[in-house]
Structure 1
Amino acid sequence: MRRRSILIAVPAGMVTLAACGGDKDESSKATESASPSETSAAPAPKIVDGPVPAITAGTKFGEKPTVAKGSGDPSKDLAVKTVIAGGGKVVAENDYIQAHYLGQIWDTAKVFANSYDAKTAALVPLVQGQIYEGWRFGLAGKKVGSRVEMAVPPTWGYGTEGNAQAGIKGTDTLVFVVDIEDSFNAKSSAKGEVVAQDNVDLPKVGTNTDGKAPSLEIPKTDPPKKLVANYIIEGDGPEVSAESTVLVQYKGVQWDTGKEFDSTYANKQLASFSLQQVVKGWTQGLAGKKVGSRVLTVIPPELGYGDNPQPGSGIAKGATLVFTVDILAKM
């Protein structure tokens, strides 16, 4: 993924399982290493239905599970079992999923990462090079609302190098329990109540929710001097904080030219990043807004790039930036 224009310095890049830590004894050491490094793609696995260890407690969807140690030798294939069958939309490769998960080692039952303790579901891209290949292959085709258990051999986990920081050897099969809460793709949009756009001195934003880029009409007036962050569609989800990681659709144009310089719609790929990694106008403009919303932000130069836009970004010095942002999810 190319660097997003709205970012300060950190690529949107990889959203990892490490974003949600577990308890301090078992997974805090893994908070920076519990996701696979980008390697060449593994061959597509044969998917079998077992063996997988028993879930001995926390058996309901959304509850932190306790998983037994693996018994005997794990399969050399990718073992995938739907423990609870959901009735929601079908997950596809390259989707983002919002999910709670627990990961442990087959031989020892040592938990190396989980999201349940943090009480915040992870945002995970099922994209080659950005997540365990076992997840990419094993979760595709499952439905939202499902609990899925997987036993992932090294080939579709960390490979023969393992992950020493997380305590994972190159021979370890990894066991995951994943509760799929939601999924999103390049056609996802805001959903909520349309809000009147009465100020003729502000850009007019389209209210379509078909996954296509909304229209964005810039008035022939001078831009506002202060940050604007207005609902176009107001969702009913939880509020975003300045520390949140968000999953969004967006497009950005310059006020003076109306020229688009960045767009997830054009790239056909959602973007996810921490609001601590973006220009101040995004952080301040989205903080307090609700998940599910479409937000118009007009960012003055001092809250954008000022006289130092990123080379090759298509943003002029001193530009006022205009964005329409659909907040799909947060963590």
Structure 2
Amino acid sequence: MKKYLLILSVLVVGLASCSKEKTQPVPVVDVAAQAKIDNDLILAYLNGHPNILATKDETSGVYYQVLDAGTGEAITPSSKLIVNYEGKDLKDVVFEAKDNLSFTLPQVIAGWQIGLPKIKNGGKILLIIPSNYGYGPYVNGPIPANSVLIFTITVKSVDGKTPAVG
């Protein structure tokens, strides 16, 4: 009887160790090298789109162009926002567009956290986001790893207040 219990115990332990979920290793990325690659790609994109007059945020490397500064409430890290947006890649292929997306800044990618406070309620901004401030070395749906992202974002509401129409 003890022999069967021992065999059963070994079998259970063996099977339990096989059923463990495998986790994906964290990709190894040279952040500085990827930042240079991203910046070169962004500069090439801007060179091919002379109508875009983007400014580089020197702290992050996120490029932005304020298309409409807005006149309403300022956007803070704790603001609850409702926006319309379109996201595309450097080939100008749209990967996502949404209306009335609701969130607070800590819930979105770092590129949005950096760019959105540059406008106010009712504003519109173009963001060109290096991969490190987007999804980094991870695939996200149709977005490949280490992708530069381009978003056009219109703020429809800040903290439940819609901008005054003038």
Alignment TM class, shorter chain as reference: 0.5 to 0.7
Which among 153, 157, 164 is matched to residue 178 of structure 1?
A: 153
Matches of 1:178 and 1:52 in 2, distance apart? 18
SS at match of 1:99: strand
Matches of 2:42 and 2:136 in 1, distance apart? 20
TM-score under structure 1 normalisation? Answer: 0.31
State whether residues 96 and 125 of structure 1, in contact with CA within 8 Å, keep that contact through their aligned partners in structure 2.
yes
Give the alignment of 1:176-215 within 5 angstroms.
176-184=151-159
Matches of 1:88 and 1:52 in 2, distance apart? 31
Q: Which is greater in Rg?
A: 2
Alignment partner, residue 24 of structure 2: none
Q: Relative to 1, partners in 2 of residues 1:124 and 1:78: Cα closer, same or farther, differing over 3 Å?
A: same
Identity level (%)? 21
Which among 120, 128, 131 is matched to residue 154 of structure 1?
A: 131
SS at match of 1:172: coil
Query: Normalized per residue, which structure has more helix?
Result: 2
The answer to whether residue 70 in structure 2 is matched with residue 86 in structure 1 is yes
Matches of 2:42 and 2:154 in 1, distance apart? 16
Question: What per-residue deviation string (whole Å, max 9, x for no partner) do you get for residues 153-188 of structure 1?
Answer: 11110011232x21x22232100000001111xxx7
Alignment partner, residue 119 of structure 2: 142
Question: What per-residue deviation string (whole Å, max 9, x for no partner) do you get for residues 212-245 of structure 1?
Answer: xxxxxxxxxxxxxxxxxxxxxxxxx9xxxxxxxx
Q: Give 5+ residue unaligned stretches, structure 1.
A: 1-50, 54-68, 192-236, 238-331
Matches of 1:141 and 1:84 in 2, distance apart? 10
Return the letter of the residue paired with 2:96: A
Q: Relative to 1, partners in 2 of residues 1:104 and 1:86: Cα closer, same or farther, differing over 3 Å?
A: same
Return the letter of the residue paired with 2:74: V
Q: Relative to 1, partners in 2 of residues 1:91 and 1:82: Cα closer, same or farther, differing over 3 Å?
A: same
The answer to whether residue 97 in structure 2 is matched with residue 114 in structure 1 is yes
Q: Relative to 1, partners in 2 of residues 1:71 and 1:140: Cα closer, same or farther, differing over 3 Å?
A: closer
Matches of 1:138 and 1:85 in 2, distance apart? 12
Q: CA deviation at 1:113?
A: 0.8
Matches of 2:75 and 2:122 in 1, distance apart? 11
The answer to whether residue 104 in structure 2 is matched with residue 125 in structure 1 is yes
The answer to whether residue 77 in structure 2 is matched with residue 100 in structure 1 is no
The answer to whether residue 70 in structure 2 is matched with residue 70 in structure 1 is no
Return the letter of the residue paired with 1:173: V
Tell me: higher relative CO, structure 1 or 2? Use CA pairs within 8 A at least 6 residues apart.
Answer: 2
Q: Relative to 1, partners in 2 of residues 1:123 and 1:109: Cα closer, same or farther, differing over 3 Å?
A: same
Matches of 1:86 and 1:143 in 2, distance apart? 5
TM-score under structure 2 normalisation? Answer: 0.59
Return the letter of the residue paired with 1:95: S
Matches of 2:77 and 2:64 in 1, distance apart? 16
Q: Give 5+ residue unaligned stretches, structure 2.
A: 1-40, 49-53
